[in-house]
């Protein structure tokens, strides 16, 4: 099956595997298997994500320091490619700064199908006419450069009249460019970082830019804005559409005061998409350090107008920053993207050798309705991971348990494999009996994800009914970094709305999780909220045993729990 066909229907999931370190766990390496990492050196923000439809090839560039495992100049654009989003091949450096005291900072990639720039001739396939727009950083200034490629994105030629934008600032960076079909223009969003504004420009040719507007002082401010983006995102029906509060009609919520969501229409297929503004901030996130927030709204070619004043977080974990979307997708409609899976509070001290940092899994984003409480229906940017699971399950073990009522004195222990890889995914659905506890107790159930060589190292995840929240505890480790770095927050949580409610009033919840040696991604209620966090055990101490315990009898019913080990 071709990848394009799979992405059209999303009947299968796809992911990243770094081809430089594919192993089945025997090496004892804690390098992730499913998440993109550099072969060596330092990596941070994703840059220039695009899909080559001619070669059916995915391209991912990233901020890269090949000479150390910490950030430093000169800073380059590293580059990896993939045929199937399951195996990545690291190639040569794509973009280099002109001086050793400077950096090729973050930016994005576009495909100039119609040669609006005039950079290309007939020898370059229209599907490979890629142009990078990026920030050239020096001690004196930050300006915007463009570079183009005539060999399919492997090497780049700097535009002779760079910079194409400058405003006499040292904090003016991270251009993200998209094509606005309605006006026939390129649209760039650039962070005027410490003025807390996203400048919106338009251009007919990628060379000459006009400032159209500013999106300013919205959401969490922190110390500065970074890595903005503006993208059109499809609106789809929620998968659990039966769970809608019966006492609410759509006009009761101001979320829908937009032509994009004509709630008076009986044909919801007429409402297809909306625009999303992404902004990353660092430092100053609610959990500390780095975070990415977003706003749902309308874009008319010059101005972005949010539907409401809501500030939404794209991920509720501590290790998700500098999100960027792919310029295109195989079907021309899906919005795919990924982020840097770390946090500037501690990224440069993470306990890995020869390489440091990874990306998140690629995710597919849609706008969906959900019910945060019994009296409201709101919109959220829903996300699901994208990875080729089928090829990773061959000859790997799996376990499953169903309809298990939890009791204090009857813990459940499950062993995954006699040859652990440290990589697995799981689906968990549980129900909560609200009449079996009161508000004076800590009413939880916990899953202990236990290392196979040292059982004192484990992750604890679970749900507590009085807080209505799912929690993660990543502090049970022998690794010095985990024990002593005060910014590596051990205990984290996210509020969960019910996935569904039975006719008798019992609430059920669900989570899909991916554990990849030193990173865990949790997708709640089919992706209405997501939580991404790194964790660190002793090298080779892969999770292989899962214990399930509760603090109270008959509160929790495990409706379904399945675990599948993944590997090569």
Cβ contact 321:282 at 8 Å: yes
Q: Report the candidate in 15, 6, 37 with the shortest Cα–Cα distance to residue 566.
A: 15
What b/e readout covers 281-316, taking b as 16+ CB neighbours within 10 angstroms?
Answer: bbeebeebbbbbbbbbbebeebebebbbebebbbbb
Strand, coil or helix: 7 = helix
Q: Among this protein's residues, is 553 annotated catalytic?
A: no
CA distance 150 to 223: 39
State the CB neighbour count (10 A cutoff) for residue 361: 28
Tell me the C-alpha distance between 328 and 332, whole Å.
6
Out of 21, 23, 24, 45, pick the active-site residue. 45
Separation between Cα atoms, residue 72 and residue 306, nearest integer Å? 37
Q: How is residue 207 annotated by DSSP?
A: S
CB 472 within 8 A of CB 522: yes
355-356 vs 41-52, strand pairing mode: parallel
DSSP H or E segment with residue 10: none
8 A C-beta contact, residue 24 and residue 397: no
Which residues are part of the catalytic machinery? 45
């Amino acid at each position: 099956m071709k990848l394009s066909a799979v992405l059209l229907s999303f009947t299968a999931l796809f992911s990243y595997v770094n081809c430089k370190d594919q192993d089945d766990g025997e090496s004892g390496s804690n390098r992730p298997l499913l998440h993109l990492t550099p072969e060596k050196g330092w990596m941070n923000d994703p840059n220039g994500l695009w899909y080559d439809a001619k070669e059916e090839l995915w391209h991912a560039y990233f901020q890269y320091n090949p000479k150390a495992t910490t950030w430093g100049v000169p800073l380059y654009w590293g580059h990896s490619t993939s045929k199937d989003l399951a195996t990545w091949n690291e190639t040569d450096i794509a973009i280099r700064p002109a001086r050793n005291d400077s950096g090729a900072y973050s930016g994005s990639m576009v495909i100039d199908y119609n040669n609006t720039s005039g950079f290309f001739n007939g020898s370059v396939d229209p599907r490979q006419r890629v142009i990078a727009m990026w920030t050239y950083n020096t001690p004196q200034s930050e300006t915007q450069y463009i570079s183009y490629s005539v060999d399919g994105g492997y090497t780049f030629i700097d535009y002779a009249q760079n910079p194409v934008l400058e405003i006499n600032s040292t904090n003016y960076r991270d251009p993200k460019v998209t094509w606005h079909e309605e006006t026939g223009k390129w649209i760039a969003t650039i962070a005027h970082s410490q003025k807390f504004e996203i400048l919106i420009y338009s251009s007919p040719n990628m060379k000459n830019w006009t400032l159209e507007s500013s999106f300013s002082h919205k959401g969490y401010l922190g110390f500065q804005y970074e890595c903005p983006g503006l993208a059109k995102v499809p609106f789809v029906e929620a998968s659990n559409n039966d769970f809608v509060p019966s006492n609410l009609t759509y006009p009761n919520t101001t979320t829908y005061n937009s032509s994009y969501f004509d709630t008076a229409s009986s044909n919801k297929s007429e409402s297809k998409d909306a625009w999303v503004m992404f902004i990353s901030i660092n430092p100053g996130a609610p959990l500390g350090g780095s975070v990415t927030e977003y706003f749902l709204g309308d874009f008319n070619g010059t101005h972005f107008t949010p539907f409401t004043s809501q500030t939404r977080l794209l991920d509720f974990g501590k290790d998700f920053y500098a999100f960027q979307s792919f310029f295109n997708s195989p079907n021309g409609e899906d919005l795919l993207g990924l982020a840097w899976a770390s946090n500037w509070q501690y990224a440069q001290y993470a306990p890995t050798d020869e390489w440091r940092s990874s990306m998140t899994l690629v995710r597919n984003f849609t706008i969906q309705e959900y019910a945060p409480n019994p009296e409201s229906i709101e919109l959220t940017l829903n996300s699901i991971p994208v990875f080729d699971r089928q090829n990773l399950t061959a000859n790997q073990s799996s376990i499953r348990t169903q309809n298990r009522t939890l009791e204090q004195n009857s813990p459940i222990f499950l062993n995954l494999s006699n040859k652990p890889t440290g990589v697995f995914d799981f689906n968990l659905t549980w129900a909560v009996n609200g009449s079996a506890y009161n508000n004076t107790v800590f009413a939880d159930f916990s899953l202990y994800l236990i290392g196979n060589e040292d059982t004192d190292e484990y992750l604890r995840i679970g749900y507590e009914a009085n807080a209505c929240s799912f929690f993660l505890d990543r502090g049970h480790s022998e690794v010095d970094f985990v024990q002593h770095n005060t910014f590596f927050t051990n205990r984290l949580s996210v509020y969960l709305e019910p996935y569904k409610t039975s006719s008798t009033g019992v609430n059920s919840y669900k989570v899909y999780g991916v554990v990849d040696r030193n990173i865990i991604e949790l997708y709640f209620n089919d992706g209405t909220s997501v939580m991404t966090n790194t964790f660190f055990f002793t090298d080779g101490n892969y999770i292989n045993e899962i214990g399930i315990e509760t603090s109270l009898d008959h509160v929790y019913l495990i409706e379904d729990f399945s675990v599948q080990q993944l590997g090569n």
